[in-house]
Structure 1
């Protein structure tokens, strides 16, 4: 990692998606993030049906000064797989119709099927490496497992085996609740956790303190609280800047994720992160 890297990472869940940025627009966002000092890129095998990883491969190539973090465990249902060839058509419809955009967002929010067996996870890692065109991912995570999945140990073991084989670096888990985070901190193979850190939510405070004590990296996501929280603020841009600075300055957070599909929002996030970093120096 470059010493000039900012303490924020780019969440790439909507890059390449029907309702997100695609093609040249998505590539421009990724290139701008890279140019602005962002060196952590968060993706998943299911983001944009794999196109998020493919877009990252076009901008990052084989660079060794970045951290690419992908995830596995979720997969597309047969119904969603049949729609993949129609993404271009669906994107055009969604951009012309607010109702269609809402429909896509509603479908996206529904729970996805999961698999946690080692064979599936190993195949998912190999597929992600292929789409990213990388020989190794610096970090790889289980994608929102239940606490019991982590406690059983087989899924974490599959990632640990991939690390031993040189396919991935840091083994991590993207968690949705405190119970899963607690299970992660009991497994010494887990060296990073990604947690939802909503404004005003203190549910993870004890977890973050314990992770810091154990040397487990904490990656904060969903820090702005979603579109409703941002649009409900009297000054959305100031709200976002202050929240980004607040999380960056927390000693129990290793890195803060920001996700956007607009260059202007990325520029504002980078400025907020840089200001917070300089004020703490």
Structure 2
């Protein structure tokens, strides 16, 4: 069962306590077309009802795929984000995505090049008009009148503390365009700034295995009734492949997060069906233990 939090109040009571990270759905190096649709249908069949995306994931195709598969069903929570945007160079490559995908799948060097480009920092804007326009764009791509949770996408502590960006989300919330207001953070200082704003109802935190830097803010968030969404819980492909038993490592870590009373929901980002099914198995076992 989901822990008591604002998220628990809007989730379906029979939802699996696991969210699907959709950053690579529709991307050049990720799952596209029928493969992506099959993954989403499988997630739904296993009880996954939380889907994490962003306006910039796969140049908007992640949101479009979610719209195609989820439709108007009201038992799912979509969490999208804004604040980052594509520079002109990346925008120019959007029409070439199909060609780039074919090349990347045939060449490891090309695939690594795409991954390196994807990892570079993106430009950001946090002013009200830009964020409002970004929310409207996400609504169009998701084909929804309301997005259940919306977050600032990796702002700095100063951006959150100034309050203008959160105010833009508050205005969208009052207009009925979004539900819960959240902040996806990369560092403790930003998490603390977000917890200092009573309008923030959810935090997405990178809770990597073995790291404790977010322990205090995770507990403070839970105590304040702020939903904690845990991401990067497996530590990435290198951590998984370096484990003596990768499958056991992943299952144990997912179970640990599901059972953590401070965490409203853990996310698993995958485009592989076998990994999705194993993650769902681990979450189910954790709820019954």
Query: Is the counterpart of residue 103 in structure 1 residue 117 in structure 2?
Result: no
Which of 61, 66, 69 matches 2:71? 61
Work out which of the residue numbers 164, 184, 194 in structure 2 matches 1:154: 164
CA shift for structure 1 position 4: 1.4
Question: Structure 1: where are the runs of 5+ without partners?
Answer: none
Residue 37 of structure 2 is matched in structure 1 by 27
Match for residue 185 of structure 2 among 175, 179, 182? 175
Q: CA deviation at 1:277?
A: 0.7
Unmatched tracts of structure 2, length 5 or more:
1-10
Q: Secondary structure at the match of 1:173?
A: strand
CA distance in 1 between counterparts of 2:153 and 2:100 reads 26
Q: 2:252 aligns with which of 242, 257, 260?
A: 242
2:134 corresponds to which of 115, 120, 124: 124
Q: CA deviation at 1:64?
A: 0.8
Q: Measure the CA separation in 2 of the matches of 1:92 and 1:31.
A: 24
| Alignment partner of 1:214 is 2:224 | yes
Determine the C-alpha separation between the residues in 2 that align with 1:4 and 1:254.
Answer: 15
Find the counterpart in structure 2 of residue 72 from structure 1: 82
> 2:274 and 2:223 mapped to 1: Cα distance?
37
Extract structure 1 runs of 4+ deviating beyond 3 A: none
Q: CA deviation at 1:248?
A: 1.1
SS at match of 1:275: helix
Measure the CA separation in 1 of the matches of 2:110 and 2:246: 25
Per-residue CA deviations over 1:140-183 (Å, capped at 9, x if unaligned) read: 00000000000000000000000000000000000000000000
- Quote the offset at 1:2 in angstroms: 2.1
**Distance across 1 between alignment mates of 2:36 and 2:243:** 27
Number of residue pairs the alignment of both structures matches: 279
Tell me the SS of whatever aligns to 2:205: strand
Q: Does 1:138 pair with 2:155? A: no
Say which SS state the counterpart of residue 86 (structure 2) adopts: coil
Q: Is the aligned partner of 1:11 residue 2:33?
A: no
